Amino acid sequence: MNIGFLITNWEEIDPNKSSTLRVVHECVLRKHKVFILYPQNLTVRNNIVHGFVKEVQLNEKISDSTITFYKKTIFKEKLTPLHAFDCIFIRKDPPIDSLILNFLDSIKSETLIINDIEGLRKANNKLYTTTFHDPNNTFLPITHVSKNKGYLQKVIDESKSDKMILKPLDGSGGRGVIVLEKNAPNNISSLLDFYINRGSEKTYVIIQDYIEGAEQGDIRVLMLNGVSIGAYRRVPAKNEVRANIHAGGTAQKYVLTEKQKHVLKKIGPKLVSDGLYFVGVDMIGEKILEINVCNPGGISNINRLNKVKLQKKVVDFIEEKVHAKKEKRVEMEYLLKRLSELRNT
Ligand SMILES: Nc1ncnc2c1ncn2[C@@H]1O[C@H](COP(=O)(O)OP(=O)(O)O)[C@@H](O)[C@H]1O
Ligand SMILES: [Mg+2]
């Protein structure tokens, strides 16, 4: 199979940690042709979407060690039409520029895109959890989104919690997540101004109830095709509210509780129907904070803590899904042929 990975930069990969690298390595070990593609190298040549891609060269024996594989990888660059790929795996930090999705629109019937373009459009920021419809907050924290300062101020005043979280709607890696303390109200107006007026236009911000127990860490769950395949706990550093690894959080082994599994079972089918095949769900207790759909990490931590190789499951899924997509196309082409034959008789 021809498998393309749309990533930000191969040179910046940390071979000890990267989830993407583990999936790339597994594909190469299975003798698939692997290509690395950068968003800035997407190109249209005479109305057909191409990319200047870097093809992984399979000259010598491939090392079983991901780190050695990374160090030894050499590439050959070429201009390739993107419909030549069986699968394109988007592994780029959010938010995704909608132009990238436009580039891929023309190939989506032939090529498996993970995650599906329509799914990425829907889930490109933290508004996606509103589509889970949980009016009684059984699994979503009380959350408000607005760019209206007066309204947000009112929400904070009315809240019964003495601690709330303020964060940008389109953030990632814990950037800009802060705690608002009701007993320090003097800061709130200035913070709201700062967050709302970050850019040339006003930006949306989230005000969310602080979830009790967050000090013990949050849980990153990796879900493949709507089913949890692994999880680990991220514990925030001292004097830090954010558990993200980028913000100094540390990884610990974690076994999901029955209640957490129940919540994940509820959202799994919707993720699949939205084409969100490989996602990272962030949870505190039974509450879902966000669904990471662009470049969720966690494979290497879960592998290390549980002595597993989750990348095998991911590549099994890619192979099965590509196969099923091909079969469906053959079936459709046959049906269309039969239909036109019947019309002509
Ligand atoms: N409502 C909340 N209550 C307690 N901690 C929170 C809350 N929201 C975020 N955090 C902390 O901040 C981290 C980052 O928040 P998250 O919503 O996942 O945004 P990001 O996209 O930046 O990862 C979480 O992993 C958690 O540790
Ligand atoms: Mg998060």
More confident residue, 86 or 181: 86
Q: In the structure, what pLDDT confidence band is assigned to residue 184 with cuts at 50, 70 and 90? A: confident
Residue ranges of the domains in the chain? 2-114, 142-209, 214-311
pLDDT in tens, 4-61: 999 999 999 999 999 999 999 999 999 999 999 999 999 999 999 999 999 999 877 8
Residue 5: name the closest of 111, 125, 98 by CA.
Answer: 111
Q: Which residue's CA is minimally distant from atom 10 of ligand 1? A: 242
Amino acid at 82: L
For helices 188-196 and 149-158, angle between their N-to-C axes, nearest 10 degrees: 140
Q: Which residue's CA is minimally distant from atom 5 of ligand 1? A: 214
Q: Quick check: 174 pLDDT over 80?
A: yes
Q: In the structure, what pLDDT confidence band is assigned to residue 128 with cuts at 50, 70 and 90? A: very high
Question: CATH number of the domain at 142-209, please?
Answer: 3.30.1490.20
Domain 2-114 CATH assignment equals 3.40.190.10 = no
Distance from the alpha carbon of residue 222 to the mean position of ligand 1, in angstroms: 16
Averaged pLDDT for residues 266-288: 97
Q: Return d(Cα 121, Cα 81) in angstroms, integer.
A: 23
In the sheet with 143-146, reading across from the earlier edge strand, the strands are: 143-146, 205-209, 163-168, 178-181
Q: Both ends of the chain: CA-CA distance in Å? A: 39
Averaged pLDDT for residues 220-241: 96
For the Cβ of 211 lying below 6 angstroms from any atom of ligand 1, the answer is yes
Q: Return d(Cα 290, Cα 286) in angstroms, integer.
A: 12
* pLDDT (0 to 100) of residue 200: 87
In the block, tokens 């990884």 appear at: 251
The predicted model scores a pTM of 0.95
* pLDDT (0 to 100) of residue 136: 95
Among the ranges given (199-203, 264-268, 314-318), the one the predictor scored with the smallest mean pLDDT = 199-203
Angle at 234 between CA 232 and CA 236, to 5 degrees: 170
For the domain made up of 214-311, give the CATH fold.
Answer: D-amino Acid Aminotransferase; Chain A, domain 1 (3.30.470)
CATH topology identical between 142-209 and 214-311: no
Q: Return d(Cα 71, Cα 10) in angstroms, integer.
A: 11
Which pair of structure tokens corresponds to residue 292?
């990471």
Q: Return d(Cα 87, Cα 80) in angstroms, integer.
A: 14
Averaged pLDDT for residues 70-82: 96
Q: Return d(Cα 190, Cα 211) in angstroms, integer.
A: 24
Cα 75 to its chain centre, rounded Å, is: 26
For the Cβ of 172 lying below 6 angstroms from any atom of ligand 1, the answer is yes
SS3 294: coil
Averaged pLDDT for residues 332-345: 90
Q: For the chain, give the percent of residues with pLDDT over 70.
A: 100
* pLDDT (0 to 100) of residue 344: 87
Q: Which ligand is nearest to the CA of 212?
A: 1
Q: In the structure, what pLDDT confidence band is assigned to residue 104 with cuts at 50, 70 and 90? A: very high
For the Cβ of 242 lying below 6 angstroms from any atom of ligand 1, the answer is yes
Q: Quick check: 180 pLDDT over 90?
A: yes
* pLDDT (0 to 100) of residue 289: 96
